[in-house]
Amino acid sequence: MIQRSARPAPLRDFVWTLIRTDFKARYHGAASGFVWALFKPVAMFVVLLSVFSFLFRDQTYLFNLMIGLFLWDFFSEGTRVGLESLFQKGFLITAAPFPRAVLVVTSIANALLTMTVFVVAILIVLSVTRGVPSPVAIALFLLYLVLYVVIVIGFSLGASVLFLKYRDLNQVWEVILQAGFFVAPIIYPLSILPEHLHKYLYLWPVTPVIQFSRQVLVEGKLPTFKAHCLLFAVTAVTFLAGYTLYRRYAPRAVERL
């Protein structure tokens, strides 16, 4: 018989096992599988760069595209997986009464790992070609990434419980993501759009994260205090909205599986 302690093990072991098995199922248990998965965004980057660098003849286009595209990938991948997390892991929900949010939060681990690899790549490319970014720039960039992760988690918490209620939410979100790719200034510089539209584009959470990251890393400018407040507000609103939905629907989520 297994030697058991009297108290249940801390959640840590469960969290780790979830992340590890997610990685394994996704990449067939091998680091080579993970490297293989990085090809898709890199190929996309090469294609977009070769096409659009003729259109936007700017020295910094390459860096801006790199930041925009790889940060976008985290958002689209993270929200897509997060939205379906409770549904996909439904078999665990019916097995034991652990806090359900664990499933949602850990679901973005793979996307986060991919983004980490790309973030390191971005910083290396920038350092080699334009000199090492200042510590302040790097610190702010990391802060934006943390807020970005909070946004994705907030969205996923809300969307994952709604998906159990509305089973075509993933298709709807897919369409929104397709539109969102063009709403966010990923392949084009924001400056080509009229100034009065900018404030609306900043409401799409991806926009401020990408724009601010470019400003600190590429342009070497600090976004204003007001701009930072806006990003915090967007993050807080997204997270609280998602969390509120989660709190409301999660306790009975299992009944909809």
The C-alpha atoms of residue 100 and residue 155 are separated, in whole angstroms, by: 15
Q: Which is nearer to another protein, 158 or 185 (CB)?
A: 158
Q: Which is nearer to another protein, 168 or 195 (CB)?
A: 168
Find the shortest distance in angstroms from Cβ 162 to another protein: 9
- Give the single-character DSSP code of 105: H
Q: Which is nearer to another protein, 60 or 88 (CB)?
A: 88
The full DSSP string for 157-208 is: HHHHHHHHH-TTHHHHHHHHHHHHHHHTTSSS-GGGS-HHHHHHHTTSTHHH
Find the shortest distance in angstroms from Cβ 245 to another protein: 15
Find the shortest distance in angstroms from Cβ 204 to another protein: 21
Chain residues in the site for another protein (CB under 8 A): 1-10, 13-14, 16-18, 20-21, 24-25, 91-98, 165-169, 172, 251-252, 254-255
The C-alpha atoms of residue 216 and residue 140 are separated, in whole angstroms, by: 7
- Give the single-character DSSP code of 60: T
Find the shortest distance in angstroms from Cβ 224 to another protein: 39
Do 231 and 146 form a contact (C-beta atoms < 8 A)? no
The C-alpha atoms of residue 156 and residue 68 are separated, in whole angstroms, by: 21
Find the shortest distance in angstroms from Cβ 196 to another protein: 32
Q: Which is nearer to another protein, 8 or 220 (CB)?
A: 8
Find the shortest distance in angstroms from Cβ 164 to another protein: 9
Beta carbons within 8 Å of 203's beta carbon, 6+ residues apart: 234
The C-alpha atoms of residue 239 and residue 245 are separated, in whole angstroms, by: 10
Do 168 and 255 form a contact (C-beta atoms < 8 A)? no
